[in-house]
Structure 1
Amino acid sequence: MVRFLMVALVAAAVAGCAGNVVTDYNSTVVFGDYTTWAFATGAGNSTFVSLDGDRVQRAVERELARKAMSKVEESEADLLVSWQIVEQERLERSGIGLGMGFGTGNFGWGLSTPPPVREVIEGKLVVELVEASSEKVVWRAASRRYLTENQSPKSRSKLVDEVVAEMFSKYPPELD
């Protein structure tokens, strides 16, 4: 039993160390050459800026300001910031399954029902930095944490702030 608990604790610690953000980048780009940025036309893929979109834009502005990058008009920017919240459907089990059985010795019969399942819509944040002159993506970050429809506005804001901060902690990438 003690051995099982130790294995479970080690597994939980290792899982806690896993990053919540995945990044990719063009290794031939000199990121130090970029000093200005703007949101790309159509960032967020909507006619209107949604509540979550506003949270994302504020967080991106804050993080790029921390990187000493200046926000300018789109026509003057070195980098264009494009972002979107990608919706994904997931099945979630809720409750418990029921079962019963009987038997004697080494033989028995059982019957059970699975727990109820419901569909949940989640949103994964993806941020891309596009070189304005070539219109090519040079850096991309995607969240492994999701916005869900049942989160409060406060928890949504906190999650967006944490995810965007973690994304930009990996910008500019350290090249090997």
Structure 2
Amino acid sequence: MKLVKLILVALLITSCGTVVNYDYEKSTNFNDYKSYNYFAEMKTGMSELDTKRLMRTMDAKLKTMGLTRSDNPDFYIDIISQDIQSRNNSNVGVEVGGGGGHVGGGISVGVPIGGNKRTRELAIEFVDDNKTGMFWQAISESRYNPNATPEKREEKFKAIVEKMFSSYPPKSK
């Protein structure tokens, strides 16, 4: 019984994590890119404060990776996000069964726990206007609390950025 509880807790913890998908142009020489900047007119889909938090977090991470923010960059970064609200659906099931001369039945009702969940899909795109266009992209989906404190939001962005950039630059095969 303890093992079942442990497995359920592990599944719950891993199901709430951030999921990240990556894609990139395989002909890209990532060593050519040393400086970046953000597109001037980004429509991030987030509040101005969240956009600033995310950009500060990305700047700090990219600096540790040897990239510098520049007015004359090698590539530009675009940030796109959208909030997704998923509803928990309850359901009702009716069962009838029998065997050995006995007939039985039952009704089950699914009750949603935790209410509606909100997730945010966040896309980070690296674009080289002079060469290949978009050459790298990471898309994450994670739970999101619109009423979180500024500190919690910043913490969440740090975790997302860390995970998104864990596979940059891609390893050549």
- The residue aligned with 2:78 is 82
Q: Does the aligned pair in 1 maintain the 2:53–2:157 contact within 8 Å?
A: yes
RMSD between superposed Cα atoms in Å: 3.7
Q: Give the fraction of aligned pairs with identical amino acids, expressed as a percent.
A: 23
Pick from 51, 60, 63 the counterpart of residue 61 of structure 2: 63
- The residue aligned with 1:124 is 121
* In structure 2, C-alpha distance between the alignment counterparts of 1:19 and 1:121, rounded to whole Å: 13
Offset of 1:92 from its aligned partner? 2.8
Pick from 130, 133, 137 the counterpart of residue 136 of structure 1: 133
Q: Does the aligned pair in 1 maintain the 2:22–2:139 contact within 8 Å?
A: yes
The superposition leaves residues 123-153 of structure 1 with CA deviations (integer Å, 9 ceiling, x where unpaired) of 2211111113146110001113232324333
The superposition leaves residues 60-113 of structure 1 with CA deviations (integer Å, 9 ceiling, x where unpaired) of 11111111112111xx111101112222231136xx9899x9x99843333344
- Evaluate the alpha carbon distance shift between residue 153 and residue 106 of structure 1 in structure 2; reply closer, same or farther with a 3 A threshold: farther
Unaligned 5+ segments in structure 2 are: none
- The residue aligned with 2:34 is 35
* In structure 2, C-alpha distance between the alignment counterparts of 1:152 and 1:121, rounded to whole Å: 16
* In structure 1, C-alpha distance between the alignment counterparts of 2:141 and 2:127, rounded to whole Å: 21
- Evaluate the alpha carbon distance shift between residue 150 and residue 6 of structure 1 in structure 2; reply closer, same or farther with a 3 A threshold: closer
* In structure 1, C-alpha distance between the alignment counterparts of 2:70 and 2:122, rounded to whole Å: 23
TM value normalised by structure 2 = 0.75
- Evaluate the alpha carbon distance shift between residue 21 and residue 149 of structure 1 in structure 2; reply closer, same or farther with a 3 A threshold: same
- Evaluate the alpha carbon distance shift between residue 106 and residue 54 of structure 1 in structure 2; reply closer, same or farther with a 3 A threshold: farther
Q: Does the aligned pair in 1 maintain the 2:82–2:122 contact within 8 Å?
A: yes
Q: Does the aligned pair in 2 maintain the 1:123–1:148 contact within 8 Å?
A: no
* In structure 1, C-alpha distance between the alignment counterparts of 2:146 and 2:5, rounded to whole Å: 36
Instruction: Report the residue type matching 2:154 in the other structure.
Output: S
Unaligned 5+ segments in structure 1 are: none
User: What is the DSSP-based 3-state SS (H/G/I as helix, E as strand, rest coil) of the residue aligned with 2:88?
Assistant: strand
Q: When the two structures are aligned, how many residues end up with a matched partner?
A: 165
Q: Does the aligned pair in 1 maintain the 2:18–2:142 contact within 8 Å?
A: no
Q: Does the aligned pair in 1 maintain the 2:118–2:143 contact within 8 Å?
A: no
Alignment of 1:44-63 (within 5 A): 44-45=43-44, 50-63=48-61
- The residue aligned with 2:20 is 21
Q: Does the aligned pair in 1 maintain the 2:77–2:126 contact within 8 Å?
A: yes
